[in-house]
Amino acid sequence: MSAAFRDRLLRGDRLVGTLLSLPSPELAEIASAAGFDWLFLDMEHGALDPGDVLRLVQAAREPCACLVRIPENREMWVKKALDTGASGIIVPHVNDAAEAALAVRWSKYPPEGGRSVGFSRANVYGARFEEHVETANKETVVVAQVEHIDGVRAIEAIIDVPGVDAVFIGPYDLSASMGKPGRIQDPDVREAIRSVASACAAKKVPVGIFTAGIPASAEALREGYTLVCSGIDVGLYSESAAAILRGLKPRNP
Ligand code: 3PY
Ligand code: MG
């Protein structure tokens, strides 16, 4: 676990990450060596099981942190993700304060929460068990993903839940929940996104967003988002592949 990552997040450092969806530790090495501040390891839509996540976390070079997006807000996924030694979790589809509170509870050891205790990579397979239990609550990041119009409406209550360190906006699911799948530039979707960002800014809660492409990521940073995810492994590869072919075989379909 990158101990400094939660401190950097909470003090509002700009943290630029990228999403990994493929079970390739080499990609985690490459992205962390390139200098990303954090990696978004996607168990929700990506092809990652807990063993894959473990190997990606092992491969990521310090000080790059790993945040695991769990498939759904269930205790089993929270403990499996955190047991890998990842710096924290991103919880998809947090639509109300009760869901946010559950995620925090499963992420923090007692007395603050109810995280399950076991030997795992997070505590060097038991060798640093006591040290880990002592420090984990201070170091573990809990990010609530707001990506449904219900979550937008409940944003004030969600960010008031103690232990929610940051909010991460999912523009695509949000647009779908508003009946406009994929239309992330639609004025109503943009307004919903803006309302989440300004609620977070008013309470000094770090806010992040998924973006694709340098202009969109740069705009998000300019607008004050501090946990910016820029691009996704499969997209970066397919765009580069298409660019090569456009250059070398312009008549390719
Ligand atoms: C979304 O846009 O729905 C996302 O989950 C992006 O991370
Ligand atoms: Mg989503």
For residue 169, the CA-to-ligand 2 centroid distance in Å is 8
132 is catalytic: no
Average pLDDT of every residue of the chain: 97
Q: How many residues does the chain have?
A: 253
For residue 171, the CA-to-ligand 1 centroid distance in Å is 6
For residue 118, the CA-to-ligand 1 centroid distance in Å is 31
Mean pLDDT by runs of 10 across the 253 residues of the chain is: 86 98 98 98 97 98 97 98 98 98 98 96 97 97 98 98 98 98 98 98 98 97 98 97 93 66
Q: What is the per-residue pLDDT for 251?
A: 75
Among protein residues, the one with the nearest Cα to ligand 1's atom 5 is 170
Catalytic residue (choose from 45, 93, 132, 148): 45
Predicted TM-score of the model (pTM): 0.96
Among protein residues, the one with the nearest Cα to ligand 1's atom 1 is 170
Q: Is 171 in the pocket of ligand 1 (CB under 6 A)?
A: yes
Q: What is the per-residue pLDDT for 242?
A: 95
Pocket test residue of 38, 45, 93, 145 for ligand 1, highest count of atoms within 8 A of CB: 145
**Ligand number with the minimum distance to the CA of 181:** 1
For residue 173, the CA-to-ligand 1 centroid distance in Å is 6
What is the b/e burial string over 148-180, where b = at least 16 CB atoms within 10 angstroms of the residue's CB? Answer: bbebbebbeebbebebbbbbbbbbbbbbbbbee
66-104 pLDDT per residue, tens:
999 999 999 999 999 999 999 999 999 999 999 999 999
Q: Are strands 166-169 and 207-211 parallel, antiparallel or unpaired?
A: parallel
**DSSP category for residue 122:** G
Q: Is 170 in the pocket of ligand 1 (CB under 6 A)?
A: yes
Closest ligand 1 atom to residue 229 Cα is 7
CB 230 within 8 A of CB 212: yes
Q: What is the per-residue pLDDT for 1?
A: 63
Please, what are the domains in the chain? 3-248 (3.20.20.60)
Q: What is the per-residue pLDDT for 214?
A: 96
Q: Is 168 in the pocket of ligand 1 (CB under 6 A)?
A: no
Q: What angle do CA 152, 147, 216 make, to 5 degrees?
A: 105
